[in-house]
Structure 1
Amino acid sequence: MKLNPYLNFDGNAEEVFRFYNAVFGGELYIQRMGEAPGMENLTEEEKNLALHVAIPVGDGQFLMASDCIKSQGHVLTNGNNNYISVSPDSREEAERIFNGLSAGGTIEMPLADMFWGDYFGSFKDKFGTCWMINYANN
């Protein structure tokens, strides 16, 4: 089984994923709303929104998203009810990812050694997505 977090955005999924891609690397995949059947009646702006965007974030795992289409009744509600938890392979990688993704965001818990033995930190990035970075000290 693989767990692939899927996010929704209010028209800026491409911008968000270009930012995430700068941190994680890999190939950025973008499919636009206008490429899907039945989307001919969307506005030009809506046709350019992301139907599906994805980047690889591990061995066979992906972070994925799409934009909400207001004309179709989709409504985005940002909140802290979802976190993306990343488990890097080293403390250095944990720091790189934490520092990269938290830039311009709000740090909830700085990276630190925790009572359960891991190196952990959490934050909300500048786009409102909540992240947890957890390196398991060995």
Structure 2
Amino acid sequence: MASINPYLNFNGNTEEAFNFYKSVFGGEFLVLQRFKDMPETANVPAADQNKVMHVALPIGKGNILMATDALESAGHTVTFGTNFSVAISPDDEKEAKHLFNGLSAGGQIAVPFDKAPWGAYFGMFTDKFGVQWMVNYDENPRR
């Protein structure tokens, strides 16, 4: 069955926030990836290249707190109170497609479910109740 974890969006201070969370929860980041680390983001403005594209901090048994810097240069805005999504990590591609199609029915798809630049299958949407979701299936998970 899929695991469910919170995914937070910040206005450029993701690294500061996650260093704080790490100081409280302990542990080490599973990944801290910057926009400059991905070839597909070569067109990201120089001022945004060092911002955090994805960070993951394990908390407790099987929980992972994840986040990104929302880039205004890419048209993203952060509205506090709705600056998070529920991230689902299914066990296989079939389950991922089923969850994406089922939960997005009647909602608004922001990113269609397809192969992503990081190699996983990914999709993002807001369901018909206004809840933001991300589905990410990776055969070789790093989180």
Structure with the greater alpha carbon radius of gyration: 1
Q: 2:35 is aligned with what amino acid?
A: M
- Counterpart Cα distance in 1 of 2:74 and 2:22: 28
- Counterpart Cα distance in 1 of 2:37 and 2:83: 31
How far 1:41 moved relative to its partner? Answer: 2.0
Q: How many residues align?
A: 84
Aligned to 1:51: 53
How far 1:55 moved relative to its partner? Answer: 0.5
Q: 1:21 is aligned with what amino acid?
A: K
- Counterpart Cα distance in 2 of 1:59 and 1:39: 33
Aligned to 1:40: 42
Q: 2:74 aligns with which of 72, 75, 86?
A: 72
- Pairs within 5 Å for 1:87-106: none
How far 1:61 moved relative to its partner? Answer: 1.6
What are the ranges of 5 or more consecutive residues in structure 2 without an aligned counterpart?
85-143
- Counterpart Cα distance in 2 of 1:7 and 1:81: 6
CA contact (8 A) 2:54 2:67 kept: yes
How far 1:80 moved relative to its partner? Answer: 6.9
Q: In 2 relative to 1, CA 67–37 (structure 1 residues): closer, same or farther, beyond 3 Å? A: same
Q: CA deviation digits over 1:96-121, x for unaligned, max 9?
A: xxxxxxxxxxxxxxxxxxxxxxxxxx
Q: CA deviation digits over 1:75-105, x for unaligned, max 9?
A: 11002786xxxxxxxxxxxxxxxxxxxxxxx
Alignment TM-score, normalising by the size of structure 2: 0.53
Q: Percent identity?
A: 48
CA contact (8 A) 2:7 2:65 kept: yes
Residues 1:16 and 2:17 aligned together: yes
CA contact (8 A) 2:8 2:83 kept: no
Greater relative CO, 1 or 2 (CA 8 Å, sep 6+): 2
Alignment TM-score, normalising by the size of structure 1: 0.55
